[in-house]
Chain A
Amino acid sequence: MIRSLLRKVFYAIVVLWILSVIIFWLSKQMPGDEVLDYVSIDDTRYAALINPLDQRTSYGQVARERGFYFPGFYFSVSPSLFPDSVDLILNRDEKVNVKNWITVYKQPERVLGFYHLLLQGMRSSCSSVQTGSPGFQSCLFYAQSLATHDPEIIYTNAVAVSGQINTDSSVTASIREDLSSLIMMMEDLKKNKPSGLAISSWMPTIRWHGTQNQYHQWMRGLLLQQPLTSLIDGRNAWKKIYEALSWTLLLNGLSLLLALAAGIRIGIWSGKHHGRGSEKSINWILFALFAIPSFWLATLLIYFFASGEVIKVFPAGGIGDQRGDAGIFSTVGNLFMHLFLPVICLAAGALAYVSRQMKESFLHEAKQPYALALKAHGVSKKTIHRFHVIPNALFPIITIIGGSVPALLSGSLIIEVIFNIPGMGRLMYSSLLARDWPVAFPLLMMAAFVTVVSYILTDLIYKWADPRVKTVEG
């Protein structure tokens, strides 16, 4: 038993670690640049007035705050053609562009020199000019060049801008000289471009980064429960999760309790009255509830009971006023009114499933030899059902409860959106959409952890409750 448990725990740790790596890797594959999204002003009224150097400084600050100056993982694999320093470029687009320039010119170190020349040119031409002023043109050229994938376009633009600023008295001699050096360097890169590269240049090189990497920092923060700050509203991520979790636990917990309480009761009743007209009718109703999509049922419930079109009993959504100064009556009443419809909605789907399982299990147990033997001994039907058949028929419910625990914590997005409940489903969805990783990572890992643990516990409880499982598994 203990060996089996240790084996399961070991597998669980391995599965969780693999999941954490996959989640981290997927987060890095998301399209777009979250730092640029944060620091950029896309409104054209302002965009024209932003000095590219200021924006670059802001980009660096935000990227550093978010820990992007570390390499992603413990090691990286890339063609040996690309020097180590390319991976340390903070700006995602620039990194891709520099790699392309190296691929085109096949002179890694000199291309890096060209990249640094662009940076230097940007610093000198953008630092002391006002946006929109004539000298701003060269500043703009450098900013756009850093964002340009094709080096030929940079060259064409450099020649054009050089021609224009030569006649502009507001441009200093050093800015002109910087641009001339850049053009000369590009011409040199083109002239000395090797016709091909040795195959070894494309051979993958593994680079070891040690523990100073983004994944390690993230896992450290997660495991040590370090304070994580949401990138969206600056709040403590654990506090946000705790708040959402409390609503989801309440909502899903109540609905699970309701589904189990009613489902078991209906299942037993259906088993006892199997084949009768009333049993068939209830079965049909339950299947209809099971078949109705939850979002539609939710909308119907709101229409009938909250909008006032038919009857106005419950509020249309939300969690009501949650200020601490409300009394106990007010708080409980408020919660009852706000959670009644969503709990019914969530329980409706599960009800059919639980009752069906319970009925089948009841019928199965009722046909077992021990039940028939008890009947033959003259034990009353009521006693057989109550003390023998029903307890045994409850075993499948353990699986249902075990399978429901992850959902208890991960939330029900659709119901939470429709009934406007700030639970885990909504938090997960909004965090992923906004790339709020300090909130999204712990949420995803928590969901994974709870799923794995609940399955281990289900297994253990099953073994404890049913000795036959113990015998087979040893």
Chain B
Amino acid sequence: MRTKGIIFFVLVSGITFSFLSCKNNTTTDDTYAVNVRLPNEPENLHPMLTKSSFGIQIASRVLLPAAEFDPKTLKLSPLLLTEIPAAREVTEGPHAGGTVYQLNFRPEAVWDNGQPVTSADYLFTIKAAFNPYITGSSWKGFLAYVSEIKTDPSDAKKVEVYFDSTYILALEAITNINIYPSHVYDPDRILDEFPVEQMISPDQVWTPEQDTLLKKFASSFQSVTYFRDTVQGAGPYAFDSWTTGESIRLKRKQNWWGDTVADAPLLLKAYPDEINYKFIADAATAEAALKSGEVDILSEIPPADFVKMMNDDALKDGFEFDTPAIMQIFYIEINHRDPILSDKKIRQALAYSIDYDGIMNNMLAGLGQRTIGPIHPQRGYYHKSLQPLEQDLNKSMALIKEAGWEDTNGNGTPDKLLSGKREELIVDIKVSTKEEGQSLAAIIKDNAQRVGITVNIVAVDPSQFTQDIRALKFDMAPMRNRPLASIDDLYPAFYSTSPANRSGIQNAEIDEVITDIRTSESTAERDSNYYKLQELIYQEQPAIYLYVPMDRIIISKKYKTITSSLKPGYFENLFELRA
């Protein structure tokens, strides 16, 4: 009897406390919060240093970039700048023959303390990125081509950035970076002592005193204080709280300067008063949280689950299902240094052996789009007249024969003399132990077997996989390319002498067209060169191009918003409560 009493007391008091503590998390009369589910917790909210896309997503609501890709047009849109700068040719001085961009910061743009966003903050951001003791950041590489940055003593809102050599991503490099408030991230004003020309110079040698100061700055800049305690910027939201393992909360600034901007770009708009990012790793728990109204947006849902949820009556009424094509291209990287795969015919034979429909239906539940090469189908210059390859086993077998491979020893696998040694038609496909790559490899192995090519699956730890790809220790490997929203620079992956040319493709014609694209003077000329390049890649088949996936996003119908090809596919600051 006594036990029953205790149980009853605990339950009743627990529920009572819960009701007493209950407060509406989402909406009051005139304010509302948007709850976003994230599958992982970011390691920090430091845009220059985070390796998590969620970290950048959240931090970019607080620390605005100078310019960001517009979700609708996919073109750069000025956020802290008054306009997107146009490239101007430099005709005289040390940068003659080069290009200059003039950046003007918005007069309305201010930090939390009311101070204006100025060229000094821009310089501080660049200098921080070039500090030799800031490790693990990609920004320095992205900005490597900058030759000089000039400020105007008479106009604190103006900056000129010079490039001596042609750099196709110049505009993105200098504008699509989050701007840090120098007074917050460098309270001791250490970097003020370092001229920007010294910081960006690759030949700069530092005195021991300077070296000590740079180390001191880097140690503070990369500390936990700026990782998760002090996160400040000129964005519409202020960092409010971070409950480890649970959530991050942003609150809309009271006097958000973006409200005063006439014809403000889409990304300067900020509707919700609060954004809660909730970390829910388990897919089933996330689905339950969506159904119960604890979260308003779910993305990155496995394709099969998404299709199932689309047919779920409990979700149909209250939620919208969106599938924008993501700016990602999935393909099989082929190592041309391998004597077997250096033969174009064998690469083509492999490409014709693959059951693309099977991949699209079984792995993606139909939520994907076939593609012909490294250019995303959403691009205006995507070559629509080239058709994606289809499975053709007879053609594949004919190509193997044409390449001189025949089963001479009767073991069922074609063979050929290569450099005086009889080789069997056997190649490896390296995959990480993640599920997606393994499923794809299994399909390819099974398909290739049908035309006589033996494909061995080599599954390694994800870290080892990355290291092997870097060290070029692979025959084939499933990969994902994430092109920039605005333009494609195929130099890194396809130019013969590029350090990032992992496939090892050496093709003078492709090199020439890539150079032409980089130096094209008009959009029409550049697009024509892109077409030419796609044709060459289509013929050469340096890799097997599979598909672009569609994002799987579910959003509560309480909100009016937009989705986009840009990651993460939704924009939580644009969630407007429906009337």
Q: Which residues of A contact B (CB under 8 A)?
A: 30-34, 36-52, 54, 57-58, 61-62, 93, 127-133, 136-137, 140, 143-144, 147, 229, 232-236, 240, 243-244, 247, 261, 265, 299, 302-303, 306-309, 312, 315-323, 326-327, 329-334, 336-337, 340, 417-422, 426, 435
Contacts and interface: CB of A to CB of B under 8 A. Distances in A.
Nearest to A300: B284
Contacts of A422: 244-246
Given A44-B493, A45-B492, A48-B491, A58 B135 contact: yes
Contacts of A235: 224, 227-228
B17 A329 contact: yes
A42 B470 contact: yes
B249 to A, nearest CB: 9
A27 B268 CA distance: 47
A419 B489 contact: no
A351 to B, nearest CB: 14
Contacts of A133: 165
Instruction: Give the 5 A-B residue pairs with the shortest CB-CB distance, closest first.
Output: A422-B245, A32-B463, A333-B17, A48-B492, A333-B21
Given A39-B136, A52-B499, 7 more contacts: A41-B141, A44-B493, A45-B483, A50-B138, A62-B135, A307-B287, A327-B21
B500 A337 contact: no
A240 B14 CA distance: 28
Interface footprint category on B: 35 or more
B284 A302 contact: yes
A62 B136 contact: yes
Contacts of B508: none
A422 B278 CA distance: 12
Contact of B246 (A31, A320, A337): A320
Given A48-B498, A49-B144, A133-B165, A43 B14 contact: no
B262 interface: no
B463 A30 contact: yes
A143 B500 CA distance: 12
A41 B165 contact: no
B154 interface: no
Given A31-B461, A48-B498, A143-B499, A128 B203 contact: yes
Contacts of B246: 318-320, 322, 420, 422
Interface string B192-229: 00000000001100000000000000000011100110
A319 B243 contact: yes
Given A39-B136, A44-B500, A130 B141 contact: no
A54 B140 CA distance: 10
A137 B501 CA distance: 13
A321 B243 contact: yes
A111 to B, nearest CB: 20
Interface of B: 3, 14-22, 43-44, 132-133, 135-136, 138, 140-142, 144-145, 165, 169, 202-203, 222-224, 227-228, 241, 243-247, 278-282, 284-289, 291-294, 314, 460-464, 466-467, 469-471, 481-484, 489, 491-493, 497-500, 502
Contact of A45 (B43, B169, B293): B169
Contacts of A333: 14, 16-22
B244 A307 contact: no
Given A61-B135, A233-B227, A336-B17, A426 B285 contact: no
B461 A233 contact: no
A31 B473 CA distance: 14
A51 B13 CA distance: 64
B19 A130 contact: no
Contact of A308 (B17, B133, B292): B292
A130 B243 contact: no
Contacts of B502: 44
25 contacts: A32-B461, A39-B136, A45-B484, A48-B498, A49-B142, A49-B144, A49-B145, A49-B492, A51-B144, A130-B144, A131-B144, A132-B165, A132-B498, A140-B499, A233-B43, A302-B288, A303-B288, A317-B285, A320-B246, A330-B17, A330-B21, A332-B21, A336-B17, A340-B14, A420-B285
A40 B145 CA distance: 19
A322 B243 contact: yes
Contacts of B3: 261, 265
Contact of A38 (B136, B282, B461, B491): B136
Nearest to B312: A309
A14 to B, nearest CB: 32
Given A61-B133, A140-B497, A316 B292 contact: yes
A420 B281 contact: yes
Contacts of B464: 31-32
A282 B442 CA distance: 47
A47 B479 CA distance: 15
Contact of B481 (A44, A244, A329, A418): A44
Contacts of B470: 36, 40, 42, 147
Of B21, B169, B463, chain A has the most CB atoms within 10 Å of the CB of B21
A37 B284 contact: no
Nearest to A153: B337
A317 B289 contact: yes
Contacts of B140: 50, 54
A43 B202 CA distance: 22
A255 B191 CA distance: 54
A353 B145 CA distance: 67
Of A39, A40, A337, A420, chain B has the most CB atoms within 10 Å of the CB of A420
Contact of B138 (A43, A419, A435): A43
Nearest to B295: A316
Given A36-B467, A234-B223, A420-B246, A137 B141 contact: no
Contacts of B165: 130, 132-133
Contact of B222 (A42, A144, A234, A326): A234
A266 to B, nearest CB: 11
Contact of A127 (B202, B282, B500): B202
A128 B203 CA distance: 6
B286 to A, nearest CB: 8
A236 B229 CA distance: 13
B292 A312 contact: yes
A433 to B, nearest CB: 9
